[in-house]
Chains A and B, each alone.
Chain A
Amino acid sequence: MAQNKSNPKQDQAKDKSAPAMRSFMKNDFPLIRKALITLIASLLLSAVLVSAGRAIRLKQQDSLVQAQAQRNDASTGLHQAENDKQEIHDYQPAFMALRERGFVGEERRLDWIEHIKYIQENRKLLPITYEISAQQVFQIDPEEFQINDLELRGSKMIFQMGLLHEGDLLNFLDDLKRNGFYAAQECKIKRAGTELESAHLPLAAECMIYWLTLGDRVDSPEQTPQ
């Protein structure tokens, strides 16, 4: 018991002589607290500076891109206007002539059949029969030829005629060009007989041509060839 009584005194003496326990937060941290705060403040300030600088740069960059786009648009517009001016100068007379001749615009079937009748009478050709089919739109590969927003239309015409000479057919085809645009596709000329004496008989011809016209594109799925 005596020992038990003396022990607390000895412990107290030991506690007094022993150095106090160091605590990082109590003893050391205050010495670097300001530096840490400075570091954190620096980090925050730096983040703000970097973000603000970046934001300003990006904003000005966007403005620049927008200004570039506007300038490019204006430049393209100017270039286009200059092109238009030059193209009007270059192509308008020829275009108006094509309109006059019926290549541009609606078909003039009445003109065509009147012209056929006129040629037959004028050339004193044998009778001519013909059949004009419904108009179709030609398929043009835009990679091979730029037709802009126009479409090329064709009306197939098959005609039969007797010939005293094959020159009659060539003259007829030549005269046909004077009042319209066409492209021949097929022509067959044969003798009326196969005997030797049939060399003096009339010839029979059958041809197929396309009457061609050019008009504004009609954006109708039924009429647009796939």
Chain B
Amino acid sequence: MGVFRRQLLYLTNDQLTAYQWEKGSYSAGHSFPNNETGWEDFSLHLAGSQNTPIYLLADLIEEDFQRDSLPHVLGRSRRALVQRRLSQLYRDTPYRQAIQQGREEQGRKDDLMLFSALTNAELLKPWLDAVLQRKAPLTGIYSPALLSAALIKKLGLTHDSTRASPAFPFGPARSGSEPHRASHNLLLVTHQSSGLRQSFFQGSALKFSRLTPLADHNPDTVADAIAREAANTQQFLASARLLSRGEVLDAVVLAHGEGLQRLRSVCQDSPAIAHRFFDLADAATRLGLKTPDSITLCDPLFLSLLGHVVPASHYAQPEQIRCFSLWQTRLALYILSAGIVAGALLSAGANSLEAVHHYQQSRQMAVETRLTQSQHEAIVHSLPHTVASPQNMKAAVNIEQMISRNAPAPTELFGIVSHALDVLPQIRVDQLHWQVSKKDETAEGAIDPQQPQPVPVTEDQAPGASLIGIPRKPSQILLIEGEVTSLKQDYRTALESVRLFAAELGKSNKQLAAEITRPPLDVKPTVKLTGSAGAEERDTKSRFMLKLTLRPES
């Protein structure tokens, strides 16, 4: 499929010339005469051209231009209005079109329209029949006159572009006219294989164009024809009120270098018309043609406009360019297919690469696994026989060490009491009750001092390991019951002795808390106090109770 190839058809009244356009250059033209033989040859030529877009450039004498104004309406009403006017103007041909060229400045500000048509439809019919029969993708039917608007823009001849870019490759003006001057009234004179075309522009808007056939393409003949036809056209434009009185027509002639000298001598400037000459080679260079010096006619300039860009079709009917739409659809489908396959290949490639990477990693890991397993077997074979698993041995040793370190015993608290009794001989201990606390001793959670808490283990209940120091030492409680001896109702001394005893116990270990739970005499204002004075009270004793709490170091 020739995505980048185009077939350019140049149709004149006498013949059709086919060019192959590819990558900015065109092949030698293949001409077909306008007769049955030519039509058949052309049909054969189109065989196999279903994949090459075709651009038909109709450079015909029978192209008519009409200027008119239409009320400024939009949308469907505008289309209907334009179609109605086209039907009125060009009843016998389907190849017609309209261009809006601004609006009137006065009155209703109607739209200024240019209507044009290829009036001899029969001239196109055999060629288009061949194209449609071959189902070749016809892009459109184009007119050199309408393309001239694009041509003068590219050549910098328009009024607007002249102001923007004043440098032009004009040849020297014959009568001292300013070469770079832009004109509002421009007559573009081009010499093509079909003859001499004169296109009149006001600003950049085409107003009129006509093709004059030439007897031959001799430079002298062409020069004379240009001089004559330009003068005739100036008179026509003046009579058609396209040129106001006193306005100068700026005739720009695109000519081959050899004919320029002849043209300068033939084309005489007058108050009504001024001639300027544009070398075809320079124009071809500006349009990007690859061999500008070999160009002698303007045909390639118009063809290049079709080769480089795709302008909207001027005259083609929708059913005539249907194959082009299908060609575009086909192209889109092929591109989509290629994209999908490319994406799938990329995906498959990425997956394959990843799979190969995974495979290599798996192989590497298998090698590492075998090596590790062999090392493992070697170590296992070297292990000595044991009565228990290493983990059990470790656990047994650890738990024994923990028990040895944390297991509670009364020895420490008994020793502390013994030492304090040595310091305070007036204290006599009657009962020691040591026990492991069932819970962590805290300031908030002190146990009832009056009643020692039994170890919370029943016969059936499994004891908690915290009682034996796993994982940390438990708190220990020692309840001391005793009395202060050698005192006879000296409660003050007794109270002081017990306080000193508690202080002596407490200072031996900072983790040890001593609390007098029952003093020798309860002097709190909230309790009842009974006693007697003077009588010998044999039963009166200064009995007390202390609670020692040894908390484990945190």
Residues of chain A whose beta carbon lies under 8 Å from any beta carbon of chain B: 22, 28, 31-32, 34-36, 38-39, 41-43, 45-47, 49-50, 52-54, 56-57, 59-61, 63-64, 66-68, 70-71, 74-75, 77-78, 81-85, 87-88, 90-92, 94-96, 98-99, 103-104, 133-134, 136-141, 144-150, 152, 154, 156, 166, 169-170, 173-174, 181-191, 194, 196, 199, 207-208, 210, 212, 214, 216, 225
Contacts and interface: CB of A to CB of B under 8 A. Distances in A.
Given A95-B397, A187-B434, A139 B464 contact: yes
A87 B358 contact: no
B47 interface: no
B423 interface: no
Given A53-B350, A59-B355, A91-B390, A31 B395 contact: no
Contacts of B347: 49-50, 53-54
B412 to A, nearest CB: 10
A46 B329 CA distance: 21
B309 interface: no
A225 B322 CA distance: 91
Interface stretch (B257-265, B294-302, B402-410): B402-410
Given A63-B358, A166-B414, A186 B436 contact: yes
B409 A184 contact: yes
Contacts of A38: 333-334, 337
Contact of B348 (A52, A95, A208): A52
Contact of B470 (A50, A103, A138): A138
B380 interface: yes
Among A57, A147, A190, A214, residue most surrounded by chain B Cβ atoms (within 10 Å): A57
A94 B454 CA distance: 35
Interface string B216-249: 0000000000000000000000000000000000
Contacts of A137: 462
Contacts of A145: 399, 402, 465, 470-471
B514 to A, nearest CB: 18
A37 to B, nearest CB: 10
Given A53-B352, A196-B485, A148 B391 contact: yes
Nearest to B482: A191
A50 B344 contact: yes
Contacts of B388: 95, 104
A189 B432 contact: yes
A57 B336 contact: no
Interface of B: 50, 135, 319, 322-323, 326-327, 329-330, 333-334, 336-338, 340-341, 343-345, 347-352, 354-356, 358-359, 361-362, 365-366, 368-369, 372-373, 375-376, 379-380, 382-384, 386-397, 399-400, 402-403, 407-411, 414, 418, 428, 430-436, 454-455, 457, 459, 462-465, 467-471, 485
Given A185-B435, A185-B467, A88 B351 contact: no
A88 B384 contact: yes
Given A74-B376, A81-B376, A39 B392 contact: no
Contacts of A61: 354-355, 358
B396 A103 contact: yes
A183 B467 contact: yes
Contacts of B344: 42, 45-47, 49-50
A158 to B, nearest CB: 11
B379 A78 contact: yes
A187 B50 contact: no
A67 B462 contact: no
B396 A104 contact: yes
A149 B455 contact: no
B462 A146 contact: no
A46 B343 contact: yes
A136 B463 contact: yes
Contacts of A63: 358-359, 362
Given A63-B358, A64-B361, A187-B434, A83 B463 contact: no
Contacts of B430: 190-191, 194
Contact of A71 (B365, B464, B471): B365
A49 B436 contact: no
Contacts of A75: 372
Contacts of A66: 362
B395 A150 contact: yes
Contacts of A190: 430-432
6 contacts: A47-B344, A57-B354, A60-B362, A98-B396, A139-B463, A188-B434
Nearest to A31: B326
Contacts of A196: 428, 485
A68 B365 CA distance: 7
A124 to B, nearest CB: 21
Contact of A188 (B322, B383, B432): B432
Nearest to A70: B369
A133 B457 CA distance: 12
A67 B369 contact: yes
